[in-house]
Structure 1
Amino acid sequence: MDALKVLKERRSVRKYLSKPVPKEIIEDIIDCGRLAATARNIQPWHFVVITDEERKKHIADITDNGKFIAQAPVCVAVLCEDTKYILEDGSAATQNILLAAKAHGLGSCWIAGHKKPYAAEIEQYLNAPESCKLISLIAIGYAEQESNAAKKDLSAVLHWEQF
């Protein structure tokens, strides 16, 4: 899929078919996350792929707005070593994963993790080292229903020379 088309058409998906995602596709998506922009080339990220039904349900139950994780064939936890630019680096990796999923014809949704009250519990559940912090959870799968959520017009957000 054309990169600009992916960027313009990607939307959050919260309803998934039960069809499994091939391991090779998941690995390619994570590889795209690994190649994200990173401050000082530190690359602090680690990715935990969860496909086990019980584990996804447990994570979904812990979150406040991610109950649909239980239905998604794949959940990816993006964790980063606690560095100066942890949020920027982890968010760049997360965005790459969302875009790669779309390029593979999959739906996805970013669920907040950083500084959420459940972050430490998920880090512990995933057996993450203390030096790693949860940045995001990403539900991935074949979309049951595509979202066509409206986006603001360019004229509403673009400013030239000053606000």
Structure 2
Amino acid sequence: MKKLAVVGFGLFLSIACHAQDSKRESVQELLKATNVDSMVDTMYSQMGQAFAGIGQQLGIKAEDQPVFDAYMNKVFATMKEDMSWEKMEGPMIEIYLKHYTEKEIRDMLAFYQSESGRSMVEKMPAVMGDSMALSQQMVQSFLPKVQAMAEELKTDLQKHRNSQ
């Protein structure tokens, strides 16, 4: 009886491991179908463009620009190395395995393999780029308001301190 239980448990573990491997393969296929690796590359490219304007925002002087550029290049290179798709892929697969059922993964995969899904994947970098540009525009119009509120707070705090 003990041998039968051990064999049964071993068979159960084998089936469970195979199911997990199958689900993992489906997630890998889904990530490939959605071009996540190239989306990461596109994200870094867009971030590189955003980094280019940081010097102006920080008031970097022309004579200091080469030092600043070298620093930003080093930061960007380190970020790309430490956060490469090769380092992200395994943890991303685990996240998908944790949050989605095998049926949900198969359904998503079916969508992304469809004509509409492929179109979405193809157009997503442009949508993300436009969304990022919109966000930057909104932040640019928002920052002066925050700066004005910060000055107001500074003045109000000073008045409060002087009144005590």
Please classify the TM superposition score into its range, dividing by the shorter chain length.
under 0.3
Bigger strand fraction: 1
TM-score, reference length from structure 2: 0.23
Normalized per residue, the structure richer in helix is: 2
TM-score, length basis structure 1: 0.23
